[in-house]
Copies of this chain bind each other. A is one copy, B any other.
Amino acid sequence: MKPPERHLPGQCQVANDVISLVGDKWSVLVVSTLGSGTLRFSEIKRAVEGISQKMLTTTLRGLERDGYLTRTVYPTVPPRVEYKLTPLGIELLGPVSALGNWAIANHARVLAARRAYDERAE
C-alpha cells in the first residue's frame, strides 16, 4: 500500500540521463550552432567561442553517440568532416530553445535576486 510516487523515481533518472546533456555548456552551444545547418569541424570551433579542440571533439562524439547529430567524413586531402543534426537533434532543439528563451526573459529577475541576497549577507 505505498502511496503513489510523486516524482516517478525511475523516470527521473531517465530524464536526468538526457537532461544532463543540457547542463553541459558545450553540448548546448554545439547543438544550437548546428541548428542553422551542416557545419565542418573548424567552422563549429570558430562559432563556439572559447571551446578547446579536445572538448569539441569530446562533445561531438557524445552527441553523435546519443543520436543527436551525424558525422560524415569525406576521404579527401586534407580531410573534410561535416556535422549535421539528426531529426532527433532538431526535436531536442525545441524544448531546449524554450528553456533558453525563458532564461533570457527572466535573467534580470535572477540577477536582482542575487544582488538582494548578497547585499543582505554583506
Contact = CB atoms under 8 A, between A and B. Distances in A.
Given A7-B33, A33-B7, A18 B65 contact: no
B15 A104 contact: yes
Interface stretch (A52-60, A77-85, A94-102): A94-102
The secondary structure that dominates the A interface is: helix
Given A6-B36, A7-B33, A100-B15, A65 B114 contact: yes
10 contacts: A14-B103, A15-B103, A16-B103, A19-B100, A22-B22, A23-B23, A67-B114, A88-B109, A94-B102, A98-B98
Interface of A: 6-7, 9, 11-12, 14-20, 22-25, 28-29, 32-33, 36, 47, 49, 64-67, 88, 91-92, 94-96, 98-104, 106-107, 109-110, 112-114, 116-118
